[in-house]
Structure 1
Amino acid sequence: MSGYKFLPSKATGITAFLSPIKNPQTERGIPKFCNMGSEAEIPRKPRFLCLHGFRTSGEILKTQVHKWPESVLQMLDLVFLDAPFPSQGKSDVEGIFDPPYYEWFQFNKEFSEYTNFDECLAYIEDFMIKNGPFDGLLGFSQGAILSSGLPGLQATGVALTKVPKIKFLIIIGGAMFKSPSVAEKAYDSPIECPSLHLLGETDFLKQYGMELLKCCVDPVVIHHPKGHTIPRLDEKGSETMLSFIDRIQNMLLDK
């Protein structure tokens, strides 16, 4: 799809994809135009850091998100990041998407203990410092669990202390942290930033995604008939997402 460019990061093994390429006549994606001698400002595109699923990649998430209509994609500035750790086992997308595959952190069978979690948080923050600022986070699966938990970890001073506050969330196939030591800080208070959640009717994480909604203040939900995947958006889903984007754009304009 045109309008995208590659952004190599200084961090080893990272490639991010920025969308869209900004007009050289604009600054930070905030286009301005002159009308009858007066200047008016158009709300800029909300900028999201996108975190992919377990043992996939930023490029794979980019491909998956491209299922969405152009009318939605053109309203967002999306940056896709590879997780810090190469896949330590078989990926569920082998044979569907090409490697390499990455994972954000590791966990035990009960999902109650995490390995390399602090390194993951530091890695994300470092990328945000070097390539930000970002308005929000978009995440799928393991990336969605991270995305939805980071505002709370940021508020309690555990993570992202050197970057601006996360303002918005787009959560696809999400759930909550199960590690007690992480969860108690991530969900110490309600998630107040505007959040959009995509829930699949046959997603094995659906019930956990529903539990996550209870932690959010006034979440917006798009239900779809698929499983644990990034779905195409039907007319109703597109309208809901565009309405959400319009809302957060206006919030940026008010600041």
Structure 2
Amino acid sequence: MTLRILCLHGYTQNAQVFTKKTAVFRKALKGVADLAPHVLPIPTLETPEEREADQLNNLEPESIPYGWWTSSPERPQYKGLDESLTGLRDVLEKQGPFDGVMGFSQGASMASLLQLLLERPHLSHVMTGCRHGPLKFAIVVSGFEPRDSALMAWYTNKYPLLEPRRSMDSNDMDVDDNEDKENVEPKYIHGVQGSSMHVIGRTDVIIEAERSEGLMNHYKFKTPVTLYHDGGHYLPSNAASRQAYKSFVESFI
């Protein structure tokens, strides 16, 4: 069995750039997982006038910077998020199913949001009714909590526990079993229910370790796997890191 992982690039990157940056990661998972096409969401400059003024139209495709959303400390609302989610839903439904998602930096935060939304699609009008089930895992590299308070509430709200689906004959359950199930108090959790691996650079000056740990704290139901490295804002590729990626992904086969 080979797993399928959807990969999401970082801010101002694109599919071509991220494909090169994940070469070692892809090699480490060869035979274990297929890394699905990287999605190209909306450009960081949205209108034709903005792109022309920035000369983006004159760049080679692999040089055009993309982002999952735009925001600023003064305006923390995530502009463009719904458009990106629309693109992701299209990929999930047409190219899926996917077992997991992997993202870097802003793409890591989007990967986390996607994992949460596939567990609770009602939170987003874009994802409501999405024909793709919850992901088994997420690999979050230099991720961070959302600045947008509305999105932050998605992590801090309390949700009923998602029970695994069971296939059984109607004859396998008697009336007493049904009565017992009705009397069981529902279980609730905060944040993301699925599994995760968080890759954090101790000397990352773009996304400080504390910010990545803040996002990791919303994964309480299943203890996150952590991979700390002494470098900065990148996906580590040394032998120990490669083995850590492989071991984590293999656990879902």
**TM-score after normalising by structure 1:** 0.71
- Matched residue type, 2:247: S
> Could you give the per-residue CA deviations for residues 218-237 of structure 1, whole angstroms, max 9, x where no partner exists?
11111112111122133x32
Note the aligned Cα RMSD (angstroms): 2.3
> Structure 2 CA distance, aligned partners of 1:246 and 1:147?
19
Between 1 and 2, higher relative CO (CA 8 Å, sep ≥ 6) is seen in 2
2:18 to 55, 61, 68: 61
**1:79-158 pair list within 5 angstroms:** 79-88=36-45, 98-110=62-74, 112-156=76-120, 157-158=122-123
- Is residue 210 from structure 1 mapped to residue 213 from structure 2 by the alignment? yes
Query: Which deviates further from its counterpart, 105-114 or 209-218?
Result: 105-114
SS in 1 for 2:193: coil
In structure 2, relative to structure 1, the CA distance for the partners of 1:233 and 1:192 (3 Å cut) is: farther
- Is residue 194 from structure 1 mapped to residue 195 from structure 2 by the alignment? yes
- Tell me by how many angstroms 1:47 deviates: 0.7
- Tell me by how many angstroms 1:58 deviates: 1.4
8 Å contact kept, 2:14–2:62: no
Higher-Rg structure is 2
> Structure 1 CA distance, aligned partners of 2:110 and 2:230?
24
- Tell me by how many angstroms 1:75 deviates: 1.7
- In structure 1, runs of 5+ residues without a counterpart are 1-43, 91-96, 250-255
SS in 1 for 2:37: strand
In structure 2, relative to structure 1, the CA distance for the partners of 1:126 and 1:99 (3 Å cut) is: same
- Tell me the number of residue pairs that the alignment of Structure 1 and Structure 2 aligns: 200
> Structure 2 CA distance, aligned partners of 1:121 and 1:242?
28
Structure ranking higher in strand proportion: 1
- Tell me by how many angstroms 1:109 deviates: 3.0
- Tell me by how many angstroms 1:61 deviates: 1.2
Runs of 4 or more, structure 1, over 6 Å off, are none
- In structure 2, runs of 5+ residues without a counterpart are 46-50, 55-60, 158-189
> Structure 2 CA distance, aligned partners of 1:121 and 1:153?
10
Alignment-derived partner of residue 133 in structure 2: 164
